[in-house]
Structure 1
Amino acid sequence: MVALSGAASAQARAPQLEQVASVEGITEYRLPNGMRVLLFPDPSKPKVTVALTVFVGSRHEGYGETGMAHLLEHMVFKGTPTHPDIPGVFKERGAQFNGTTNDDRTNYFETLTASDDNLEFAVRLEADRMVNSPIKAEDLATEFSVVRNEFERGENNPMSILMQRIASAAYDWHNYGKSTIGNRTDIERVPVDNLREFYKKYYQPDNAMVVIAGKFDEAKAKEYVAKYFGTLPKPDRKLPQTYTEEPPQDGERVVTLRRVGDVGVVGLAYHVPSGPQADFPALEVLSDVLSSQPSGRLYKALVETRKAASVFAFASPSHDPGLFMIAARVNTKERAELEKVRDVIYAEIDKVAKEGVTDEEVGRAVRRYLKDFEMSASDPNSIALELSEWAAQGDWRLYFLARDRMEKVKPEDVKRVAAAYFEPSNRTVGYFTPSEKPERTPIPENPDVAKLVDGYKGREAKSAGETFDVRPEAIEARVQRPGEIEGVKVALLPKKTRGETVNVTLTLRYGDAESLKGLSTAADFLGGLMSRGGTKLLSKQQVRDELDKNFAQLSVSGGAGTLSVNLETKRANLPAALEIVRQVLREPLLPADEFEVQKTGRLAQLESSKTEPTVLASNRLQRLLSSYPADDVRYTPTPEESIERTKAATIEQVKTLYDEFLGASVGELAVVGDFEPSEVLPAFEKILKGWKSGKPYARIERPYQEGLKTATEVIETPDKANAMYLAGSVFPMKDDSADYPALAIGNYILGGGSISSRIADRLRGKGGLSYSAASHFNASSLDPRASIMVMAIYNPTNVAKVEAGVKEEVERILKDGVKAEELKTAKDGWLRSREIGRTEDGSLAGSLATNLFLGRTLLFDADVESKVKALDAAAVDAALRKYLDFAKFSVVTAGDFKKAEAAEKK
């Protein structure tokens, strides 16, 4: 084991960090052992993210090693001698954490409340597990089956499998043709010694980068990095570099996938340059020109004409030359219909290659890219992960260089790359035809990334924002509640934010259980049609363009009785963004053609879900846990009923909802971020004043229902590799109940703590049976109705083990109770997770709006948290024993159990 000493003598020997580059507030340092370090201080949100990137992915795997990089990602969570329970210590500190693997890199990241202790903990842990994970055979024996379960989950999605098959066919030699998750037998059979050697080769300081972003003391961060990462020895081995270069493709290739399903898919892939290559931004613009909504050429040619339910196109930046992929989902099982859609795609691509694109199309795509860039650059957590992606392509500064290049893309660039790369011989689809002479589409070699970023300075760093206290009582002291606009209650929280961002949440409430009968499905369409259908002054394309121009993200959604509006933008753009909101709310066109487009898309989604175990099990359990007449807005329709209701929905019903129900008579508005109340309030007066609902509003109650019968049901889903287990019960309780805090913590211990809980430990950590296993507790704020649910995904052959494992863990916690140390860890983790939630301005705006509806302030949250802090084991045990009765649980399992049973008999 490599020692991570905390002694003063070790600190004295800690090496110094050498500054390498600084761009727009981000500074890179290098340690003598080769470790790269990026620091990005931002005091505006009281949280800190530590992200470790190891530059190894599926691209680096050899024969028989497919999935090894991803499997190691899982194994590195199994603990070290110093940190034996990594998920547990994360849970204890309330961290948001994860790890991901792709072709070029593996990363690990955690976000915690900002403190020197948390920062040192995260740096120490990442340095420790990077070199000291033992990679034990006994851990592999359970974790390989967890990864296999994750593999099986992916096998349930025909579109994902088709795109992977296309990639596999497109590459003869390069590892980009192999799935990151690997080959099933490689996952199952990999020798632990091989895995350990792979770990020792790549998990070294000269092949890694750590990013620290958020609120932290820079001097302390440098001290901790030098102390824990800097003292790791530089390995003697010379790190091998991948050198396989895919030769130009010499003809169209075919892929045919046949599986159970109801919706067809046609997909294409073209070889294109790597992310750092100069042509890549033009290819990203092309993907937007083809598939964005509603301006995309393929969107208009396929979705608006209802030839396809949906279409997408994308080019993912990568270290080596990659693929530009296009796919369309089509409501058909007929090959001939798929080929018609394919021909439309061909025609649109050829048109771009021959005739080019317009200035307007390019400008729209560039603005959208820059808006997304600004949004991510304003959030330290997002940018930390973005930087790891670009670093894996060669250098983190490519993140900024890509933005600079994007701003310079011209229509002729897009035309040129379409003509250069979108040749039939460079395409992988559903057929192959020999040609009279060899055809080749050469892909440019990777550029010298060091030269690209050498001396790059970037631009002025963004405004940093203020230090924000996330204690509920501290936030409450700053909230302004100036009364109502029309009938909408208002809460305002002005504060300085990084990038001067502002978040708005507006909820409008309308109708009642009686007046909304028969209109539930139409209500599901209302929000999307308002936001995507255009206004009296702006076409739907102009709405999208104006939002992009003003760095604004707008979503309008809802269901029967509510319409929710969420907006994020920047202070300087807020007036213009609110004018767009005004038009969307007060002057929507609600066009019939857009309604039909959205209807087709929803039907395709519903049809494809009819055979999905997770959808079927969830739907069935919801139906078991509530009972309402079919015409009641609270009724849960079956998937088949949802399809019939969607087919029967009309644009006239949607317009009735807007004209006769919607208004500002009842609702809530919350604004959080960098704004002046004196400027925001008049804008919302303009939006809401005089907008009265045509029908009275009454809250639709959802009380606990007596007399519901429990049931155990099995749903067969043929040809699905992954199964779903769901168990749940309902009981009378509200979130202001005296038992609520104890039951919330009891559930957190049982199954609420990400991958560290009793259920997760049993089914994932020890048994290796499930990739995802958890329990969920929810209690209404207004009606006495609460629920506890347990879920797990798994291989159908393991159904008995999963069911037994869940039942035994429930029985064990009820019999033996919770342990004192376990309780302390759970309380700390639960409280810290709530703190982290309050650091997100969008989430905080949602909470303020909800509290307006409930007639509460954040002092309610403070009171709940105070009660949680005071809990003892006896109170938690009593709450669990009072409400957690497995005999009252309904259980639904869905999967291909007949096939699994047949396989077991062989």
Structure 2
Amino acid sequence: EIMTLSPGGRLYKALVETRKASVVDDFNYVGHDPGFAMFLAQVPDKDPIDAAREAMLRTIENVKAQPITSEELDRVRAKALKAIEQTINDPQRLGVALSGSIAAGDWRLFFLRRDRWRMLKPADVDRVAAAYFKPANRTAGAFIPDPKPDRSPVPPVADVAAMVKDYKGDPAVAAGEAFDATPANLDARTQRLTLANGMKVALLPKKTRGATVHFSLRLHYGDAASIAGKAAEAQLTAGMLMRGTSRHSRQEIEDLLDRMRASLSIGGGQTSATASGQTVRANLGPTLDLVAEILRQPSFPAAELETLRRADIAGLDQGRSDPRSIAIRTLNRYDNPYPRGDDRYTPTFDEEIGDLQAPDVEALKRFYSQFYGASAAEIGIVGDFDPAEVKSQLERLLGSWSAQASFTRVPRPLAVKRPVAIPIETPDKANAFLTAQTSFAMNDKDADYPAILLADYMFGGSTNSRLWNRIRQKDGLSYGIGTSLRPSSFEPNTTLSISAIFAPENVSRLRSGVQEEVERVVRDGFSEREVADAKRALLQERRLARSRDAALAAALTEQAYVGRTFAYSGEVDQAIEALTPEQVTDAFRRRLKADAFAFVFAGDFAKTKK
């Protein structure tokens, strides 16, 4: 207001009195969260706008050289206190003002602002102006009206009744069959076979709505030694597959997929590549032809490699300041026993960017030639298709494709992280991120697995879990919190992770709350009702997952890899159903300890200490 007050304000004198503008005004947003101050100047149509802009910016950002005077402050203070007094004397206005203060945190804030106006000194205004009214914190814009605007026409109001009066839609889509996706029914319907080169195939034909078909394919390659140091080549090779083949460009591939009403996603890491998607029965054959072409005939266009490389590096650069990315990478690196280049090693941002900058097209071609093939691969297909036709087509497309290098799974033995709390400063980030992890000797064949699966669901794996109800609902410390249980299907190596998004000032209470909830389970256990409700909800989620064709295709691929059928899923269901509260609590107590977690917190914690 010192700037825009009429007629004594600085902007008024600098713009209106000098005829550079006809009107000056301001708008200052005051709320719970940090806001903004806006200054406005109206310039007559025929007058130059540059002079007004320069005078406005010079005046606003010149407080340091021309400090606020007591006379200027007293003038706007008197107006502000008069307005506050008038508000207090008007019950309706006072009610509205107090409701705004309540929304901001407390009704007394209204009176606290009045008292602060009384105590305000010119030096206070100078300090704030110097901190915020400067070029680095400024956004300047101008609206310049067009005397003869070329306006778009206003569309007439549609007469919906007339539009749909004689409408006749397409014929009804195929409704699909009523298929009860129990483990026994799924296994009875699934056809499993092995191609000539060793590729494993699982086909689950069934009538689906719209005659849709989902598929999931995974190629494995290399071993711990041969793949070492090739993470960038693996990532870029997989990323290049859909960017051109010997027969089709990237755009042509996209056009073909659209015409076939198909979707396809291909990705990969240091030891495997994946392809998943969906189409309809009539186009499954052409879609599989295209997938095989993409996998077997990539052209690796140099221009596309540079585009992909820039995008991947840009994503990593953004992650340098992202609390979530920083926290997860830091935790993965902490107590990691593997050397740089190993598939199980986690690189720094700089290391990963440096690795991505190195490979050229020839390096990717060498990697592809050495490692890609379908002899160590699995594919699962679910939906409306002819199994005999698909078997024949897969044998023709992939049955003779083998890699030069053999595949041996990289083992992942248990590596327990020492308990720790690592804070990381990420300046100017409104939200902070927590990630925590503990590991223990168990795989998904262990007798404790069903109990730990249910315990995780109750502890943090659902929106009715202990952590969710305590940290988010009751204490209001986090915008979202949950756990993730990752058991190995091979080595006795299971990890339970916790993640949460929260305001930086809540970091201490959040960590204490998480540890207290672990201790509460260890001390008091899970109640009979809690276990009964969780069993019902978890088993329902597992049944729903088995009814989704995309999830089924992925499950068939994983089963082929680890050597299982849906009978295993049914056994886990039965074990969950039979669990007692005592069994679940006992498994939790033996496997999880409150003081065994490694925590990483990333956020702007320094700001909360000021």
Q: What TM-score results when the alignment is normalised by the length of structure 2? A: 0.76
Match of 1:655 among 349, 365, 374: 365
Q: Which residue number corresponds to residue 213 of structure 2?
A: 502
Opposite residue 476 of structure 1, the aligned amino acid is D
Seen in structure 2, the aligned counterparts of structure 1 residues 614 and 187 have a Cα distance that, compared at 3 Å, is: farther
Change (3 A) 1:187 1:438: farther
Query: Cα offset for 1:567?
Result: 2.5
- What is the alpha-carbon distance in structure 2 between the residues aligned to residue 473 and residue 701 of structure 1? 32
For 1:542 and 1:820, the matched residues in 2 are separated by: 59
Residue 700 of structure 1 is aligned with which of 406, 410, 420? Answer: 410
For residues 841 and 534 of structure 1, the distance between their equivalents in structure 2, rounded to whole angstroms, comes to 29
Name the structure 1 match of 2:440: 731
Matching of residues 776-795 of structure 1 within 5 Å: 776-795=484-503
Letter in 2 for 1:584: I
Q: Corresponding residue for 1:601?
A: 311
Instruction: Please say which structure displays the higher CA radius of gyration.
Output: 2
| Shift of residue 643, structure 1, vs aligned partner | 1.8
Matches within 5 A, 1:134-173: none
Aligned counterparts of 1:659 and 1:770: Cα–Cα separation in 2: 48
Distance in structure 1 (CA, Å) of the matches to 2:589 and 2:432: 29
In the alignment, what sits opposite 1:219?
none
Residues 763 and 769, structure 1, Cα contact 8 Å, conserved in 2: yes
Q: Give 1:439 shift.
A: 2.5
Give the match for residue 545 of structure 1: 255
* 1:462 and 2:376 are equivalent in the alignment: no
Does the aligned pair in 2 maintain the 1:620–1:892 contact within 8 Å?
A: yes
1:644-669 superposed Cα distances (whole Å, 9 cap, x missing partner) = 22222333332112111111111111
Change (3 A) 1:871 1:443: farther
Distance in 1 of aligned mates of 2:580 and 2:172:
48
1:455/1:801 CA distance change after superposition, 3 Å: farther
C-alpha contact (below 8 Å) 1:625/1:729 kept by paired residues = no
> Aligned equivalents of 1:829 and 1:257: distance in 2?
56
Superimposed CA distance per residue, residues 406-460 of structure 1 (whole angstroms, 9 cap, x where no aligned partner): xxxxxxxxxxxxxxxxxxxxxxx99647366353533524633634444433221
* 1:848 counterpart residue number: 556
- The 5 A counterparts of 1:770-849 are 770-849=478-557
Return the match for 1:610 from 320, 332, 353: 320
State how far apart, in whole Å, the 2-side matches of 1:862 and 1:901 are.
Answer: 53
- 2:390 corresponds to which residue? 680
Q: 1:750 to 1:449 in 2, by over 3 A?
A: farther
The alpha-carbon deviation at position 767 of structure 1 amounts to: 1.3
Q: Contact (CA 8 Å) 1:660, 1:695: kept in 2 or not?
A: yes
Q: What is the match of residue 765 of structure 1?
A: 473
Q: Return the match for 2:355 from 641, 645, 648.
A: 645
Counterpart code for 1:874: E
- Match for 1:880 among 588, 599, 609? 588
Letter in 1 for 2:530: E
Secondary structure, aligned partner of 2:454: helix
SS at match of 1:765: helix
Shift of 1:590: 1.2
Report the CA distance shift for 1:485/1:454 in structure 2 as closer, same or farther (over 3 A): farther
2:275 to 562, 565, 588: 565
How big is the shift at 1:796?
0.6
What CA distance in whole angstroms lies between the structure 2 residues aligned with 1:711 and 1:496? Answer: 53
Residue number in structure 1 paired with 2:46: none
The 5 Å alignment of 1:206-605 reads 432=142, 434=144, 437-442=147-152, 444-445=154-155, 447-448=157-158, 450-451=160-161, 452-531=163-242, 533-605=243-315
Structure 2 vs 1, CA of residues 813 and 430 (structure 1 numbering), >3 Å: closer, same or farther?
A: same
Q: 1:623 aligns with which of 326, 333, 337?
A: 333
Show CA shifts across 1:337-357 (max 9, x none). xxxxxxxxxxxxxxxxxxxxx
Q: 1:760 to 1:497 in 2, by over 3 A?
A: same
> What is the aligned counterpart of 1:752 among 455, 461, 485?
461
For the residue of structure 2 that corresponds to 1:683, the secondary structure is helix
* Cα deviations by residue, 1:214-269 (Å, 9 ceiling, x for unpaired): xxxxxxxxxxxxxxxxxxxxxxxxxxxxxxxxxxxxxxxxxx9979xxxxxxxxxx
**Distance verdict in 2 for CA 1:673–1:436, change over 3 Å:** closer
Aligned-partner SS, 1:505: strand
Is residue 625–residue 730 contact of structure 1 (8 Å, CA) maintained in 2? no
C-alpha distance after superposition, 1:554-588 (max 9, x if no partner): 11111112111113100001111111112111111
Q: Quick one: distance in 2 between partners of 1:489 and 1:762?
A: 46
Give the conservation status (yes or no) of the 8 Å contact 2:214–2:549: yes
Distance (Å, rounded) in 2 between the aligned partners of 1:689 and 1:187: 71
Rate the CA distance shift 1:816–1:883 in 2: closer, same or farther, 3 A: same
Q: Which residue pairs with 1:165 in the alignment?
A: none
The alignment covers a number of residue pairs equal to 488
Displacement of 1:751 after TM fit?
A: 0.6
CA distance in 2, matches of 1:649, 1:538: 24
The separation in 2 between residues aligned to 1:545 and 1:512, in whole angstroms, is: 37
In the TM superposition, residue 874 of structure 1 has moved relative to its aligned partner by 1.0
Distance 1:652-1:453 versus aligned 2 partners, 3 A rule: same
Counterparts of 1:768 and 1:649 in 2: how far apart (Å)?
48
SS at match of 2:512: helix
For residues 415 and 135 of structure 2, the distance between their equivalents in structure 1, rounded to whole angstroms, comes to 46
Residue 722 of structure 1 is matched in structure 2 by 431
8 Å CA contact 1:624–1:710 kept in 2: the answer is no
CA distance in 2, matches of 1:722, 1:866: 42
From the superposition, tell whether residues 443 and 606 of structure 1 become closer, same or farther in structure 2 (CA, over 3 Å).
farther
| Distance (whole Å) between structure 1 residues aligned to residue 100 and residue 598 of structure 2 | 38
**Alignment-derived partner of residue 19 in structure 2:** none
* Counterparts of 1:587 and 1:546, CA distance in 2: 16
> Using the alignment, how far apart are the partners of 1:542 and 1:655 within structure 2?
22
- How far apart, in 1, do the equivalents of 2:157 and 2:550 lie? 40
Partner residue, 2:87? none
How big is each residue's C-alpha offset from its partner over 1:797-827, in whole Å with a ceiling of 9 and x where there is no partner?
1112211211111111110000000000111
Report if the CA contact (8 A) 2:221-2:272 is conserved.
yes
Return the offset for 1:469.
0.9
Q: Kindly provide the amino acid, as one letter, of the partner of residue 694 in structure 1.
A: Q
Amino acid at match of 1:524: Q
Is residue 229–residue 340 contact of structure 2 (8 Å, CA) maintained in 1? no
Structure 1 counterpart of 2:28: none
* Greater Cα shift, 656-665 or 733-742: 656-665
The 5 A counterparts of 1:35-46 are none
Mark the CA change 1:430 to 1:570 in structure 2 (over 3 Å): closer, same or farther: farther
Name the amino acid aligned to 1:815: R
2:171 and 2:598 map into 1 onto residues whose CA distance is 58
Letter in structure 1 aligned against 2:374? A
Cα drift, residue 543 of structure 1: 1.0
Structure 2 distance, partners of 1:449, 1:673, is 41
Quote the residue 1:21 is aligned against: none
Q: CA deviation at 1:626?
A: 3.3
CA contact (8 A) 2:439 2:495 kept: yes
Asked whether the 8 Å contact 1:554–1:568 carries over to 2, the reply is yes
The one of 675, 682, 691 equivalent to 2:401 is 691
Rounded to whole Å, the distance in 2 between the matches of 1:585 and 1:863 is 36
Cα distance in 1 between the residues matched to 2:411 and 2:170: 54
